[in-house]
């Protein structure tokens, strides 16, 4: 059985060894640039770990693992255009380095390439895997639309936000785990437990992202700190603050989210409100609740090879980027 670091090395090598066409250069160079960003490779790692729970021959799962990572990076490339983000993982985003049109078209090719890789699985698994992937892909887009809608909506509820991050972030982690289990011939019960494990850990992952956007450091996080605040995103931190604050603080926070203050001033003022309301603890407590739910599903799976998934869950809870 391979541990988490070994699987991470394997998938990184597989992705780095993937070749792309060279012409037209402005179509394929941004794809290479995007895939060389690095990143955590969480989704393909989870797919391989899930497969390994039931079968040690993980080479059979390399193709869909790469497909998931390419699709994920396609969504990031397009997200950056929508968010007008200048940086991704500490590097200039594709739409800034080239332009929006090139970024859109390169992203489209990445999605098609993901499907090409998915169809390389054995035919008996293909329909099931495509159904899982397609469901997740549509839900990711629905989550992204809700995220954008929330930016111009004043009455976003916490329950709405939690549904949005489930779709935008968590479902693709869950689908990665389920695809790995399907390919390894796991039974339906174990497939579903892995999906639920991924769903709950995915929500915890996004809550940690929300937290790091305010309380992380730009060098480690790879993005500008306070980007969500500047974009007026209704994250868990903001919505929880509104929920528990008095009327005066609520009005002040809402006013800040519509203000034209300088970047540093706006972020600092909002951060101070979050500190006064102990929002960091509220976020960490909710993360822990989702972690506990996830681990209950993992405990229910019949396999003696779960240590890499346990290691993954622990690292996610402790990460600083």
Instruction: Give one DSSP letter per residue of 5-74, joined into a string.
Output: HHHHHHHHHHHHT-----SSHHHHHHHHHHHTT----HHHHHHHHHHHTT-S-GGGGHHHHHHHHHHHHH
Q: State mean pLDDT over 122-144.
A: 98
pLDDT value at 314 more than 70: yes
d(CA 208, CA 285): 11
The whole-number average pLDDT for the span 256-284 is 89
**How far is residue 153 CA from its own chain's centroid?**
23
CATH of the domain at 105: 1.10.600.10
Q: Is 97 helix (H, G, I), strand (E, B) or coil?
A: helix
Task: List helix spans (H) across 54-122.
Answer: 62-83, 94-97, 100-118
Instruction: Give the mean pLDDT of 19-35.
Output: 94
Q: Tell me the C-alpha distance between 40 and 271, whole Å.
A: 27
Residue 304: how many CA atoms within 13 Å on its side-chain side?
Answer: 0
Rounded to the nearest integer, the mean pLDDT of the chain is: 93
**Whether residue 223 has pLDDT greater than 60:** no
Of 40-54, 193-207, 216-230, 257-271, the least confident = 216-230
Is residue 191 within 8 A of residue 229, CB to CB? The reply is no
Beta-strand ranges (E) seen in the chain are 87-88, 91-92
Give yes or no for residue 305 having a pLDDT over 90: yes
Residue pair 179/68 in contact (Cβ under 8 Å)? The answer is yes
Of 117 and 321, the one with more pLDDT: 117
**Structural domain total, the chain:** 1
In angstroms, how far is the first alpha carbon of the chain from the final one? 28
What does the block give as tokens for 96?
Answer: 């800034």
pLDDT for 282: 97
The pair of structure tokens assigned to 281 is 């603890």
Q: Is the pLDDT of residue 64 over 90?
A: yes
Domain range for residue 181? 4-318
- In b/e form, how buried is each residue of 158-187, taking b as 16+ CB within 10 angstroms? eeebbebbbbbbbbbbbbbbbbbbbbbebe
pLDDT exceeds cutoff 70 at 195: yes
Residues 321 and 208 sit within 8 Å (Cβ to Cβ) = no
Residue in this structure with the two tokens 């993901």, named with its chain if needed: 114
**Range name among 118-122, 199-203, 231-235, 261-265 with the lowest pLDDT average:** 261-265
- Count other Cβ atoms within 10 Å, centred on residue 23: 7
Residue 153 DSSP code: -
pLDDT at residue number 216 = 84
DSSP-derived 3-state class of residue 150: helix
pLDDT band of 88, cuts 50, 70, 90: confident
- pLDDT tens digits, one per residue of 174-186: 999 999 999 999 9
Residue 30: CB atoms within 10 Å: 25
| Mean pLDDT on 223-233 | 80
Of 209, 195, 279, give the one whose Cα is nearest residue 240.
279
Q: What are phi and psi of 159, to 5 degrees?
A: -65, -35
């Amino acid at each position: 059985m391979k541990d988490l670091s070994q699987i991470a090395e394997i998938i990184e090598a597989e992705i780095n060894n993937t070749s792309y066409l060279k012409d037209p250069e402005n179509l394929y160079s941004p794809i290479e640039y995007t895939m060389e960003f690095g990143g955590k490779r969480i989704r393909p790692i989870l797919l391989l770990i899930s497969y390994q729970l039931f079968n040690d021959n993980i080479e059979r799962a390399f193709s869909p693992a790469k497909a998931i990572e390419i699709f994920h990076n396609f969504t990031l490339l397009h997200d950056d255009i929508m968010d007008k983000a200048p940086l991704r993982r500490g590097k200039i985003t594709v739409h800034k380095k080239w332009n929006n049109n090139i970024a859109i078209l390169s992203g489209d090719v990445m999605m098609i390439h993901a499907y090409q890789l998915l169809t390389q699985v054995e035919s008996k698994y293909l329909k099931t895997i495509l159904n899982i992937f397609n469901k997740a892909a549509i839900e990711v887009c629905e989550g992204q639309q809700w995220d954008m809608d929330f930016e111009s909506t004043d009455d976003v509820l916490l329950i709405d936000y939690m549904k949005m991050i489930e779709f935008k972030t968590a479902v693709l982690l869950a689908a990665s785990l389920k695809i790995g289990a399907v390919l390894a011939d796991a039974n339906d019960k174990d497939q579903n437990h892995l999906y639920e494990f991924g769903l709950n850990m995915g929500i915890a992952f996004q809550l940690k992202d929300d937290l790091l956007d305010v309380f992380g450091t730009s060098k480690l996080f790879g993005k500008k700190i306070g980007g969500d605040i500047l974009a007026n995103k209704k994250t868990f931190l903001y919505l929880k603050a509104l929920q528990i604050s008095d009327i005066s603080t609520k009005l002040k926070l809402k006013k800040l989210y519509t203000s034209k203050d300088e970047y540093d001033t706006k972020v600092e003022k909002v951060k101070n409100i979050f500190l006064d309301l102990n929002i960091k603890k509220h976020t960490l407590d909710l993360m822990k609740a989702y972690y506990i739910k996830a681990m209950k599903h993992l405990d229910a799976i019949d396999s003696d090879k779960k240590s890499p998934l346990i290691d993954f869950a622990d690292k996610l809870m402790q990460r600083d980027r």
